[in-house]
Structure 1
């Protein structure tokens, strides 16, 4: 049994004093260029269909902000998080998206670029967005304060949502697997069946979280203009 339950998320494992765990972040890139070297197969067409559907959805969400190629950043964000979440379900592969250092590194620059673009190019719209239409005059200062706080914490909520969901499922699977050594033999099959169900659930969470991050980022960008 592990001395520390959170050791599965420890990024400090090293070989020859080199921290190699974070290299798992780039494993997903190995899946991307295969379409350029092989004859297109069913996996390629399925992935192309998914990206095409995402492109249409992001294009609809962006509305007047859409221009040719503007959905690529959100499709790339979805692909990057999806591959990292999914690969983290395999044994001995470090889940980099379970750390705030990575999730904040994604959400904070993205949100900051949206804010800088909005306040520099269209500050009147940004001010108007802080006060919902029909707000009484006496409540306007409070609404500005509330909207400002909710806007500032957006990158934090994006990062914490992704990190918390990835940590929760991994911890639950680890706790159940550690019970295998103390359970009687007739309960082992039930434990294996439960682990399989949890693995399916975590696979769904990996897809859903990458989709949620991409959708929310698209919605935040559509508000700046």
Structure 2
């Protein structure tokens, strides 16, 4: 330790960008910050890494403690280390983004930090550099979703093709041609068609689908090209 005795110490934190889908919009979960500076203002879910934790372990703990959420799809995004990013003390943040089906986890969210869901297109002012972190997370989500099946983490266990298309349109903030979209998704061989239909949102009824679990796992090891090239706009 004496080798580093003359070096200044920095804090290291994690920030979690939690994307959720409610069946119509892509949303972001934010909380009210519980300490100064910027107490009471909207913030990403985050916290400091403990001495004996990895950043991933800390992110899982912070998500669970501040929101009540556990067992989420989560992926490391980027490190943010601008010297003045935190006005209280030099703090380096390692950001993670997580994906959830809002309807599935809604009752688990801890109310202690006043969590709230905002449309990804109508976000409030966020503290520090959190808006910058969210923008980078959106870019990463769109890039990965074009190649891998991670958006299915935002859906219920069974879903219709219109629901799936609506999700992709929400993520990419664009419209897809119905025929092209259906053919593209069917070509992945990832979906299993079920016998029952959703008859509430369609006169004829739209068949439900679910994900083939084995092929879903394989989809993260290959590049399936989910999104038609002309529509994959950031």
**Could you state the TM-score of these two structures normalised by the residue count of structure 2?**
0.23
- CA radius of gyration, larger in: 1
From the two aligned structures, give the one with the greater helix fraction. Answer: 1
From the two aligned structures, give the one with the greater strand fraction. Answer: 2
Structure showing greater relative contact order (alpha-carbon pairs closer than 8 Å, 6 or more residues apart):
1
